[in-house]
Chains A and B, each alone.
Chain A
Amino acid sequence: GAGVSQSPRYKVAKRGQDVALRCDPISGHVSLFWYQQALGQGPEFLTYFQNEAQLDKSGLPSDRFFAERPEGSVSTLKIQRTQQEDSAVYLCASTDVSYEQYFGPGTRLTVT
C-alpha cells in the first residue's frame, strides 16, 4: 500500500517568503507528526495531531510556524517569513496503534 508522501521534495525560498509543506499520511492513520531535521542531527518534534485536533505544538520554534489538518487526513506545515535558520528537512510521520511511526521522505527546505 501507499506510504506517507510529502510534497514538494525540495523547496528553495528566499528569505522572507512564505512556504507550505504538504503531508499525505497513510490512510486510516489517526496520528500525524511533524519533525524538523537539521543537517547532521536527529529529527526534532514540532507538532502532533490526533485526527484534526492539534494536541501538541510545543516544538514549533516560533509563531512563524503553523500547522493544520482540517479534515483529519492531509496536513500542511506553513512557515511565514522564512529565515535562514529554517533551512532543514521537514519530516512527516503517521502512526497506527502499534507505536511505529511511518515516515515520509521529507521536504528539504533551503532558505537563501
Chain B
Amino acid sequence: AQSVTQLDSQVPVFEEAPVELRCNYSSSVSVYLFWYVQYPNQGLQLLLKYLSGSTLVKGINGFEAEFNKSQTSFHLRKPSVHISDTAEYFCAVTSKTSYDKVIFGPGTSLSVIP
C-alpha cells in the first residue's frame, strides 16, 4: 500500500517570491507521482506527473517537481508565484504494478500575498 505525506498544511508566500511545497511518499513498489491543483469550487487539474526518465519534471503554469527516490520525495517548486496560484495543491501516488488507484495526500493550501 502507498501513502503520501504533505508536511505543510498551509503555505503563505509573497507574490513573486519562490515557493516549495513538500511531498513525501511511502511505497513498497515502484510508483508514479503526480501533483494536482484545485481552485475553489473546482475539480482537480493535473500540474505535472512523473512516470519515468528525467527526475526533474516540468508542468503547467511554471511549476516543476523533482523525484528523489532515495528520499522518497517529490517536492513541487515555482521560482516566482502569482496571485492566481492561490489554491490547494495535492500530491498523489499510484503503483506501477497495479491498476490506476491513486492515493492523495492531505493537501497544502498555498496563499499568495500581494
How many residue pairs link A and B with beta carbons under 8 A? The number is 58
- Interface residue SS majority, chain A: strand
Shortest C-beta distance, A1 to chain B (Å), equals: 16
**What is the number of residues of chain B that contact chain A, defined by CB distance less than 8 Å?**
24
| Contact indicator A91/B43 (Cβ below 8 Å) | yes
| Contact indicator B99/A31 (Cβ below 8 Å) | yes
Instruction: Give Cα distance in the complex from A73 to B99, angstroms.
Output: 18
Q: Does B104 reach chain A (CB closer than 8 Å)?
A: yes
| Contact indicator B90/A42 (Cβ below 8 Å) | yes
Q: Does A66 reach chain B (CB closer than 8 Å)?
A: no
Q: Does A72 reach chain B (CB closer than 8 Å)?
A: no
Contacts of B28 on A, CB cut-off 8 Å?
A: none
| Contact indicator A41/B107 (Cβ below 8 Å) | yes
Contacts of B92 on A, CB cut-off 8 Å?
A: 42
Instruction: Give Cα distance in the complex from A61 to B45, angstroms.
Output: 25
Convert B76-114 into 0s and 1s, putting 1 for each residue whose CB lies closer than 8 angstroms to a CB of A.
Answer: 000000000000001010100001111111110000000
- Interface residue SS majority, chain B: strand
Instruction: Give Cα distance in the complex from A5 to B7, angstroms.
Output: 32
Q: Does A65 reach chain B (CB closer than 8 Å)?
A: no
Interface residues on A, range: 20 to 34
| Contact indicator A100/B107 (Cβ below 8 Å) | no
| Contact indicator A42/B43 (Cβ below 8 Å) | no
Convert A6-46 into 0s and 1s, putting 1 for each residue whose CB lies closer than 8 angstroms to a CB of B.
Answer: 00000000000000000000000001010100001111110
| Contact indicator A101/B102 (Cβ below 8 Å) | yes
Q: Does B46 reach chain A (CB closer than 8 Å)?
A: yes
Interface residues of A in 44-63 (CB under 8 A from B): 44-45, 48, 50, 55-56
A interface residues with partner B (beta carbon < 8 Å): 4, 31, 33, 35, 40-45, 48, 50, 55-56, 91, 93, 95, 99-106
User: Can you show 10 pairs from A to B with CB atoms below 8 A apart?
Assistant: A4-B43, A41-B107, A43-B90, A43-B104, A48-B99, A48-B100, A95-B100, A99-B32, A100-B49, A105-B42
* Apart from A55-B99, A99-B49, A100-B46, 11 more pairs, CB < 8 Å: A33-B100, A35-B104, A42-B107, A43-B44, A56-B99, A99-B34, A99-B51, A100-B34, A101-B44, A101-B102, A105-B41
